[in-house]
Amino acid sequence: MNLAVVILAAGKGTRMYSSHLPKVLHPLGGRPLVAYSVDLAARLTPDPPVLVIGHGGEQVQAFLQDRARYVLQAEQLGTGHALLQAEAALRDQADLVLVYAADMPLLTAASLRRLVAVHSQHPGPLTLLTVIAAHPRGFGRILRGEGGGEVLGIVEEAEATPAQRQIRELNAGVYCFAAEWLWPALQRLRPSPRKGEVYLTDLVQMAVEDGFAVHAVITEDETETLGINTRLHLAEAEATLRRRINQALLEGGVTMIDPATTYIQPDVVVEPDSVLWPGVCLLGRTQIGQGCEIGPHALLQDVVAGPGCYIGPGVVLRNQALPPGTRIEPPQIGMG
C-alpha cells in the first residue's frame, strides 16, 4: 500500500516565548526539531512528506527546502483543519496517510512501522498510537471496550470524569488513516463549542459511530511521545536524547567515565575502545577513531580524529582533521 506522511508544523508555539524563531526550528541536539520529523518520514517512505506550515512557514521552508512538500494553514483552527489543508496535495495519491506533529522529535521509526503494520492487519478507518503514562496529566484518555479491547473514543482531561482521569493510557497524537475514509470524514468534522477549532481526536468517535473497529498501538517508551511546547519540554527532550546517544555508544564499546556529563550530538561518530572523560562535548559531524582518548571538558566540533589520538583536558578544536596518533596537550597551566 502506498503510504504518505503528513507532518503538522503550523503551530505558533506561544509558550516558547520566542521573539523570532518558530517552535519547530528550535534546536535539539544541534538540529531543529522539524529536522527529526522529516528524517523520520524518510525512513518510512521515499516520497517527501507533506508539511503543514503556518507561523514562521517561510523560515521553515528556507531550512528544509525541497526535503518536503508544503501546504499552508493560514489560520490555526485545530489539528483537523490542519490536516484538511493537505487533501489537495494527497487525494488519490496514497492509500494510507500517517500523521504526526513536528514537535515530537523523539518518535522512532520502529513505533511508526508497527503502527502502519497493525493498521494493515486490521483494515479500517484509522489506527492510533497511545502511551501508558506513569503520571497521566493534560492529555486525552483512551476509552476502550470491556476487557481492554477496541478503542471507543478519546476524552479530553478537562471533560473527563474522576474515574476517567485515572486512566493511564493516553492519546499520543499519531494516527494512521485509510485515505479513502479520511478525506470525506474531515469534511464532516464540526468545530469544538469551547474553542471553535476542529480536532483529529473527533475522528475516533466518528469512526466508532460509523460502525468501524478502531485499534491502538501502545508505544513501549513513554519518552517517544513527548511534545515540545515549552523550554522545559525542550530540556527534557535534550536529556532523553543524550541518554539514548550515550547508551548506544556505551553498548557499542565506547568508555564514558561519567555519561551524565558527556554531551554528544546525534551526527557524531565514536569508534570502539575510545575513552571519553567527564565534561566532553562532541558536536556537529565530529568523528572519533578507534582507541582515542578525549580528556575532561574538551570540546570538538566538526573534527575528524584518526585512531589512537589523544586530546588533553580543556582543549577546544573546530573544523580540523587529525592524523592517527596525534597528541594535543592542554594549554600550559602554571604550577607552583
Which positions ≥6 away from 246 have C-beta within 8 Å? 256, 259, 262, 264
Do 176 and 294 lie in one domain? The reply is no
Please indicate, yes or no, if residue 59 is contained in any of the structural domains: yes
- The CATH number of residue 270's host domain is 2.160.10.10
Provide the pLDDT for residue 151: 95
Please indicate, yes or no, if residue 306 is contained in any of the structural domains: yes
Please indicate, yes or no, if residue 214 is contained in any of the structural domains: yes
Provide the pLDDT for residue 108: 97
Q: Kindly give the parts of the chain with pLDDT less than 70.
A: 332-336
Provide the pLDDT for residue 147: 73
Provide the pLDDT for residue 335: 53
144 is catalytic: no
Dihedral sign, Cα of residue 81, residue 82, residue 83, residue 87: positive
Three cell numbers, residue 322 = 587529525
Q: Give tens-digit pLDDT for 191-216.
A: 988 889 999 999 999 999 999 999 99
- List beta partners, residue 288: 270, 305
Provide the pLDDT for residue 3: 98
Provide the pLDDT for residue 117: 97
Q: Which of 184, 206, 225 is the last residue of a domain?
A: 225
Do 58 and 132 lie in one domain? The reply is yes
Count of structural domains, the chain? 2
Provide the pLDDT for residue 87: 97
Q: Which domain holds residue 148?
A: 3-225
- The CATH number of residue 43's host domain is 3.90.550.10
- Provide the whole-model pTM: 0.94
